Amino acid sequence: MRDFESKDGVMMFGGMPVTEIADRFGTPVYATDERRLRENYRNIRDAFARHIDTRIHYACKANTNIALLAILAQEGSGIDAVSVGEVMTCLKAGFRPEDIMYTGVNVSDAELKAVTDLGVMINVDSFSELERLAAINRDLPISFRVTPGVGSGHSAKVTTGHEGSKFGIPKERIVEAYLRARDLGFDIKGIHAHIGSGGQRTEPFTDSLEILIDITNRLAEKGIDLEFIDIGGGIGVPYRPNEEEMDVDGLGACLADMVKEETGVKTLILEPGRYIVCDTTVLLTRCVDMKDAGAKKYVGVDAGFNTLIRPAMYDSYHHAAVGNRFGKACTSKYDIVGPICESGDCLAHDRALPDPREGDVIVIYNAGAYGFSMSGNYNSRPLCREVLVSDGEAELIREAESVEEQWRHQRIPERLLR
């Protein structure tokens, strides 16, 4: 888990006191450290690129803020997109169509047509999709997503590569899919598998890659030579204090050696999302209420699971600190709870904190991946601001939504206005 400096008892973030960010932009607010974002991208790129030709396709579903995407475009990243909306957002941020791979699931004909019109590579998920794509456009590069029968992830809800998964073509039928694509005249480029999100062990990645290598070699025997193997994403990060980081350098060396020694493929693609953006961002929320309920003590804050849903949805752990008394001795344990009318609206359980008070700035760590991107309007609460912090300066990169903006697509039938 990332460490932060303290200055005069206040947490520093990107060279700024978190209290200054909260006071200037209001709370709740997501704050992202630009320098950390660039460092994380370069770290994962170099961990693999020093061993094999590597293309990083940022899994943008983790965070699609256009400013953050523009930074990654500057760094030379590619994109893993899962919807036509993500494709369009990344194009707006400065990515080229050839930088983007579209990996949809249960894709409609309308979305297939829209994506092919944008000129990006399609990562085909099913036989049905292949046949429907052939009727729409065969003049584009494709790869296939295979279900390797290997699953990994921090929750069953984000494990994707296991047998029976809704994602991909079962490994037992994948060669058949490639042969059919060749018959249809597609330009076949590679193979892809994604086993899940947030894995912290090397073995599931090597197990999945062994299957991809076997398929690749069987395809070569049938005259289909692939340009790349895409191992997907899912490299986890430490959310808890003293939790060890994954050895990405060791992982890169191991996977690169497997590809080079066992295939003729020259390029490896990986699709990190969480690894790149997770610890770049904190959620700043203000204590608005204190309550001693006897069996529990509560810190009431102005961010709820409408702002950060991961703890409620996945039972995920996010570290929390009092930003304006950072590093002070803890006095008791508290649940940090929000304003949503649900008992499940809890950002953190049983956290030791230094005597919280109304007005304190509570900092929720590791909020960059699936924080804002999964936020919503439950209880008719507006989406919050996002800011980018760089060398002690903060810039607004998303305006806060107003209540009125939530009504903009609603219509009242004329008969109800009488």
Give Cα 42 to chain centroid, integer Å. Answer: 17
The answer on pLDDT for 150 being more than 80 is no
| Catalytically annotated residue among 330, 341, 346, 384 | 341
Confidence at residue 82, expressed as pLDDT on a 0 to 100 scale: 98
Confidence at residue 155, expressed as pLDDT on a 0 to 100 scale: 58
Task: Give me the residue label for tokens 């953050």.
Answer: 68
Confidence at residue 163, expressed as pLDDT on a 0 to 100 scale: 76
Give Cα 385 to chain centroid, integer Å. Answer: 19
Topology of domain 33-277, CATH: TIM Barrel (3.20.20)
The answer on pLDDT for 164 being more than 90 is no
Q: Look at 143-157, 189-203, 264-278, 373-387 and tell me which has the smallest mean pLDDT.
A: 143-157
Helix, strand or coil for residue 21?
Answer: helix
Separation between Cα atoms, residue 204 and residue 158, nearest integer Å: 14
Q: How confident is the model at residue 199 (pLDDT cuts 50, 70, 90)?
A: confident
Separation between Cα atoms, residue 208 and residue 146, nearest integer Å: 10
254 part of the active site? no
Q: How confident is the model at residue 162 (pLDDT cuts 50, 70, 90)?
A: low
Q: Which amino acid, 407?
A: W
Token code pair at residue 282? 């904190």
The answer on pLDDT for 157 being more than 70 is no
What single-letter DSSP state applies at residue 91?
H
Confidence at residue 273, expressed as pLDDT on a 0 to 100 scale: 97
- What is the enclosing helix (H) or strand (E) of 100? strand 100-102
The answer on pLDDT for 153 being more than 60 is no
The answer on pLDDT for 245 being more than 80 is yes
Confidence at residue 191, expressed as pLDDT on a 0 to 100 scale: 98
Confidence at residue 200, expressed as pLDDT on a 0 to 100 scale: 77
Separation between Cα atoms, residue 251 and residue 255, nearest integer Å: 6
The answer on pLDDT for 320 being more than 80 is yes
Confidence at residue 151, expressed as pLDDT on a 0 to 100 scale: 62
3-state SS, one letter per residue, for 241-259: CCCCCCCHHHHHHHHHHHH
Q: Kindly state the average pLDDT of the residues 103-115.
A: 97
Separation between Cα atoms, residue 350 and residue 316, nearest integer Å: 13
CATH code for the structural domain at 6-32+279-407: 2.40.37.10
Domain boundaries, the chain: 6-32+279-407, 33-277
The answer on pLDDT for 37 being more than 90 is yes
Q: Which residues pair with 298 in a beta bridge?
A: 291, 335
The answer on pLDDT for 154 being more than 70 is no
Q: Kindly state the average pLDDT of the residues 179-208.
A: 91
Quick one: which of 202, 177, 180 has its CA closest to 192? 177
Separation between Cα atoms, residue 370 and residue 383, nearest integer Å: 14
CB atoms within 10 A of CB 316: 17
Confidence at residue 197, expressed as pLDDT on a 0 to 100 scale: 75
